[in-house]
Chains A and B, each alone.
Chain A
Amino acid sequence: MKILVTVSESVDVDDDFEVSEMAIDERYLTYDLNEWDDYAIEEAVQIGEEIDDVEVVTVTIGPERTEEVIRQALAKGADRAVRVWDDALEEASVLDPATKARLVAAVAREEEPDLVLTGVQSGDYSFGATGVALAAEMDYEWAAVVNNLDLDAEAGVASVHRELEGGVEELSDVELPAVLTIQTGINDPRYASLRGIRQAQSKPLDVKTLGDVGVDADDLRLSLSLSSLYEPETEGEATLLEGGPDETAGELAELLRERGVDA
């Protein structure tokens, strides 16, 4: 069977940063493998270790910079990778879920996977919608926010737990082919081994333009754009305790005792 895993970057913003011209300057940003995708990769690789003849292919919509996280995914055990990018995408202020879904779907139509795993959300825009949009685009079945997966490849059914709010899980049977959006905590993502990192360098990483995947740049229909970006005003009025750790701890202990805390 073939498993397609979407891989994207997370963007961490430094504690101190500035917003200018509707963007956070690059120097305040650190890129890493999106945490949710890390769990999705692990889940795919584990399935490959449990059953025979599984190919794990990653797909990324992103510029050349993202090859760093793609190599991480390959080092963790994915077999090969596809990256789609185009100058036409560079100009978009918001890459919305529908556009991402359309581009991933273009790759997925060629790959014809039995299972697609995506992270629940990305760390920058956090739309949390690309996986389900992709399923609709592909006419695949789907399940969002999966924190437990039991795959019966022969029967073509994925038995999943969906993590609802308030400590409740929904148990569902999902027919393949399907897209599952993977929640953190579903497994224990591995660190890449040195051998894995070496091997990753020689695994195939195909780079495709919009034209290569059959999408016309004029036909992108980017319907969302950013019109402002700012640091939110702090709503709270927290009283900050000042001084060294001994002073602040002393003051805090007093506050706590006033509120009845005492062992």
Chain B
Amino acid sequence: MTVLAVAEHRRGELREESLELLTVGRQLADALDSELHAAVVSGDVDQYAEDLNREGVDAIHTVDHGEEFNHDVYTQTIEQLVGAADATMVLTPNSVNGLDWAPALAQRLDWPLVTDAVDMDVSDGLTVTRELYGGKVEGAVEVDSDHAVLTVRGGEWPAAGGTGSATVEPFEPDIDEAAIGSTVTGFQEVGAGDVDITESDVLVAVGRGIEEEENLDIIEELADAMGATVAASRPIVDNGWLPKDRQVGQSGKNVSPDVYLAIGISGAVQHVAGMNGSETIIAVNDDPSAPIFDVADYGIVDDLFEVVPELTEQFSG
């Protein structure tokens, strides 16, 4: 039996989460008395295989077909590889692309799917820990099967290290080209605006708690007084109140300033992923259970509309 970890890459780079899969994959394989195999589909697979050859990996399947991710190719390939490698578990990152093919694979195999795993246990059947209700609670989900497709949250397991002695085995799937109904025509970067928030030492980031567009004035005033740059969480950008290049988080920019002052930001995991490398994190939020306080060094649990003008005052003396 095999645990199969399917790596992810984009535009010539293996993504870090792929190496984290190998760590959780090895743990699962040990508990299930299985081998750990990695698979990489499309692109420079030989280079990727070299990168994936870490301690604990028994075999690496390379599939030299096309350059970039295509969900039809991935789904067809991995369905066949599951059979060839006698896999009982398939792991892949809980990423935008992971969620673009893993559910289709699970459906085709008729295996249960659990997405966004933050922990797992197989001592008495498979149990997967995941967050619910926007991270306010965590739950253990029991899987009533010996088989499963699992997408794994990034940053929850360390990347596998060392140099492995995996065998590298090219795998040639039988791809039904007629069934491929989507074509990637290109990539586009979110345009750089007048300000690069990744270059700023001090960021004042604003979130949903600001309530109305006109209330952004008090944030601008504070940032001006502090000599800081204004950044934002997703809802502010979705509403069109600030341009996309100000967005911090998984789908926006990754920032690591000296000071990150989060105002009215709840701290969803997608936001935190883009700012938890900041030197000092300070949060102002009236909800004491907001997850932002889990990553903050300092916090003020109070109404931002009271605190922000006071703070501006402190810097405009």
Contacts and interface: CB of A to CB of B under 8 A. Distances in A.
A and B assemble together: yes
A129 B144 contact: no
Interface in A135-170: 135-137, 141-145, 159, 161-170
Contacts of A170: 69, 184, 186-187
A97 B287 contact: no
Interface stretch (B22-30, B209-217, B290-298): B290-298
Interface in A186-238: 188, 222-232, 234-236, 238
Contact of B99 (A132, A188, A238): A132
A171 interface: yes
Given A234-B293, A240-B299, A249 B103 contact: no
A256 B259 contact: yes
Nearest to B10: A164
Interface residues of A, number: 84
- Report which residue of B134, B259, B300 has the largest number of chain A beta carbons within 10 angstroms of its beta carbon: B300
Contacts, number: 270
B299 A129 contact: no
A135 B313 CA distance: 55
Nearest to B282: A252
A234 B294 contact: yes
B137 A145 contact: no
A98 B227 contact: no
A26 interface: no
A163 B112 CA distance: 26
A1 interface: no
A129 B302 contact: no
Given A167-B252, A184-B238, A230-B137, A144 B100 contact: yes
Contact of B251 (A128, A163, A262): A163
B288 interface: yes
B148 to A, nearest CB: 9
Contacts of A112: none
Nearest to A230: B138
Nearest to B307: A245
Interface in B237-292: 237-240, 244-245, 247, 250-254, 258-259, 261, 279-280, 282-283, 287-289
Contacts of B195: none
B132 A125 contact: yes
- Report which residue of B107, B115, B201, B202 has the largest number of chain A beta carbons within 10 angstroms of its beta carbon: B107
A17 B225 CA distance: 38
A258 B289 CA distance: 28
Interface residues of B, number: 98
Contacts of A188: 239-240
Contacts of A261: 202, 226-228, 259, 315
Contacts of B108: 136
Contact of A260 (B245, B258, B287): B258
Contacts of A260: 201, 258
A244 B13 CA distance: 50
B244 to A, nearest CB: 8
Interface in A68-120: 94, 96-98, 101
- Report which residue of A125, A131, A163, A174 has the largest number of chain B beta carbons within 10 angstroms of its beta carbon: A125
A142 B142 CA distance: 29
A64 interface: no
A226 B131 CA distance: 12
A164 to B, nearest CB: 5
Q: What are the nearest 4 A-B pairs in CB distance?
A: A249-B310, A141-B181, A253-B314, A185-B238
14 contacts: A127-B116, A129-B106, A129-B115, A142-B71, A162-B96, A169-B190, A170-B186, A174-B181, A224-B144, A227-B140, A230-B138, A232-B138, A238-B283, A255-B280
